[in-house]
Structure 1
């Protein structure tokens, strides 16, 4: 008999790579859709500016808790990205550039899965375990799983923006277990953040935190989950 009845996964940095989401070509496409033509180097520069703004100390503080709703997430991130676009190019509206950057971030096709994501999900599903995704996120990530062709393997998506609560608060973990109809003591949570994801232990789940070192083109180390869940 398996040690667990279900496995819950974090999304960003666990199943899908969060380090290569906004790409120059992706931004070029989104900007062109909004009437702004960007060169490849221009797009690269704009992405660097945006990352410095949203991931800097002030940006991190300003977007704290914005994953509680899709509207709030969009408002906060678009504002920060628009601010990063001020003065970038005289003939380009910073607001349009901010919207283009946000669209690039939330594009389902922009999130590459780690090489071992699909195979591990398929193996766990084949072994009869229920699977769920619990994520602090500001938009619907189901289309990203559809792009990978694994949506039918996931029994529950519990997203912060749909429940007005964020990890490390315990509610998302409880909701996921309730939706799957499993006991927390028979559920494994897999994530990459010792604080936010590790909080699942407060609800009674077993927790496996992935190593911080990760690369888009290398397996994430998810095979370890197969051993833990056996």
Structure 2
């Protein structure tokens, strides 16, 4: 059950993290590159990986590994994502994305049919900073023309959620698997549909 904070009653927009909040990898395992703080050259990354697996990184194999794979073959939306985005849009709640991700995130969202819900994207690879750097949060709220208390931030990492709270944003941590610890109290939700109680 969502626990209201006073700031949530003023919110006019939702700032969503993407991975772990809106979408997940099919098979529930992210590519290891997704957790790196910088984006290595894909061929260099694959050479190291292949050599550690005892495989020769031939030019043809590297080219095969660079091949684009349709987003809907490797990623899927959480079951509650689309219906929640649709209902928030129907209620005229403004939405943006704040994510440590590569520049192709809007294209991935388009392939999954959700790009049109978001007015702005704050993407680490484009901005040159990762959460919890204040610039990435502020980029999204500024793009919407709203002050931090008018934006509700959603993340599956309680530390990144807490950083947003300290910057003045309203927020909820999402944890679909098990309750978050209550010390200190963390306003949390178990599903995205619980956001609808706040708007």
Under TM normalisation by the shorter chain, which class is it?
A: 0.7 to 0.9
What CA distance in whole angstroms lies between the structure 2 residues aligned with 1:198 and 1:6? 18
Aligned residues: 179
The superposition leaves residues 159-217 of structure 1 with CA deviations (integer Å, 9 ceiling, x where unpaired) of: 01111111011111111010001111111001101122331112210121111629xxx
1:173 and 1:103, CA in 2 relative to 1: closer, same or farther beyond 3 A? farther
Aligned positions of 1:35-74 closer than 5 A: 51=32, 63=36, 65-66=37-38, 73-74=39-40
The answer to whether residue 114 in structure 2 is matched with residue 150 in structure 1 is: yes
Displacement after TM superposition at 1:140 (Å): 1.5
The superposition leaves residues 82-138 of structure 1 with CA deviations (integer Å, 9 ceiling, x where unpaired) of: 212116465x5256556655656x753322111111110111111111100010012
Gaps of 5+ in 2: 1-8, 179-189
What CA distance in whole angstroms lies between the structure 1 residues aligned with 2:25 and 2:161? 16
What CA distance in whole angstroms lies between the structure 2 residues aligned with 1:117 and 1:6? 16
Q: Please, which of 82, 85, 89 is the counterpart of residue 47 of structure 2?
A: 82
Q: Please, which of 3, 21, 24 is the counterpart of residue 17 of structure 1?
A: 24
Higher strand share: 2
Q: Please, which of 57, 68, 71 is the counterpart of residue 93 of structure 1?
A: 57
Aligned to 2:76: 112
Displacement after TM superposition at 1:221 (Å): 1.0
Higher helix share: 1
When normalised by structure 2's length, the TM-score is: 0.76
Equivalent pair of 2:22/2:78 in contact (CA under 8 Å): yes
Q: Please, which of 156, 164, 173 is the counterpart of residue 128 of structure 2?
A: 164
What CA distance in whole angstroms lies between the structure 2 residues aligned with 1:117 and 1:137? 19
What CA distance in whole angstroms lies between the structure 2 residues aligned with 1:158 and 1:118? 20
Aligned to 1:4: 11
The answer to whether residue 72 in structure 2 is matched with residue 125 in structure 1 is: no
Aligned to 2:146: 182
Aligned to 1:41: none
